[in-house]
Structure 1
Amino acid sequence: MSDPGNTFMRRFVQFINTADEMLGEELIAPNAEFYVPFQSDPLIGPPGWLAAINVMRGGFPDVQWTLEELVVEGEKIAARYTMRGTHEGVFFGVPATRRQITVQTMNFYVMANGKIVGERGQPDLLGLMQQIGAVPAPS
């Protein structure tokens, strides 16, 4: 793993953990496309990332991401995170349960000119919904 890729992604984790708009502008291209599993059209630019972060913070105000693994190949980055938080607000229609979540997520990024220009995020939404009691866990 190259040090510049590691440094960049550590700063990106700081952005998603703090929702710092200025840091988002620094790291994400204005026309970047961010695909999320809950809608077919991409979210665009730093405001799109902030919208997705706000969806998570609406249900889990203390949500934090920890970067677990990172693979950098040229302009492509694969990152595995652990997302942790407390279900203290409505999330996809599920009222707060106060349950703690620990969810894995895989995200794939495309870079250009030192900024993210694309991302596809794959959080374990089924596992998350099971942890908050919205979906029964397998027996």
Structure 2
Amino acid sequence: MSATRPTHDLGVFARLHEAVNSGDAELVFKAIDEVVDPDVVVRTPLPIDATGAQALKEVFGRLLRAFPDLHIAVEDVIAEGDKIVYRNTVTGTHQGEYMGLAPTGRSISYNEIFIFRFADGRITETWGVVDVLSQMRQLGIISGAFS
């Protein structure tokens, strides 16, 4: 394995991250086309029918419509071999429909941890853990029985 591989993969990761934080869905879709394998295996359960890179486009499209000020702050990054693990905090203001819920104007902040596997300079597999319970509580969809 080349010593420059994790560095290159970090650059690919940074390209996608910068696009997501731009708030521009078209820029995000372009970045996905550039850095994600079209047949990427997304191992995070998603409430959509799309697969591959199209699934990622749909997820980010929905998030950006619901939270136009979406921001992902990377807290930790670990690169090892063909994988990058990152822990982040997501913030945004609910200004568009999200999971059937009309805009509330509420601000949210929740945590995620993702693993990206790379091959040939592209993201080919992902795993993610998203604090959806925190999202639901902050949006008022469920009450905070375990706060």
Normalized per residue, the structure richer in strand is 1
Match of 2:18, SS state, is helix
- Could you state the TM-score of these two structures normalised by the residue count of structure 1? 0.86
2:39, 2:51 within 8 Å by CA — same for their partners in 1? no
Figure out how many residues of one structure are paired with residues of the other and give that number.
137
1:35, 1:41 within 8 Å by CA — same for their partners in 2? no
Match of 1:93, SS state, is coil
Match of 2:77, SS state, is strand
CA drift of 1:90 comes to 1.7
Aligned to 1:14: 18
Candidates 75, 93, 99, aligned match of 1:86? 93
Candidates 105, 114, 118, aligned match of 1:111? 118
CA drift of 1:8 comes to 2.5
CA drift of 1:42 comes to 6.6
1:27 matched to 2:35: yes
CA RMSD between the two structures: 2.0
User: What stretches of structure 1 of length at least 5 have no aligned partner?
Assistant: none
1:60 matched to 2:46: no
Match of 2:98, SS state, is coil
2:117, 2:126 within 8 Å by CA — same for their partners in 1? yes
CA drift of 1:23 comes to 2.0
- Could you state the TM-score of these two structures normalised by the residue count of structure 2? 0.82
User: What stretches of structure 2 of length at least 5 have no aligned partner?
Assistant: 1-5
Q: CA 1:75–1:42 in structure 2 vs 1: closer, same or farther (change >3 Å)?
A: farther
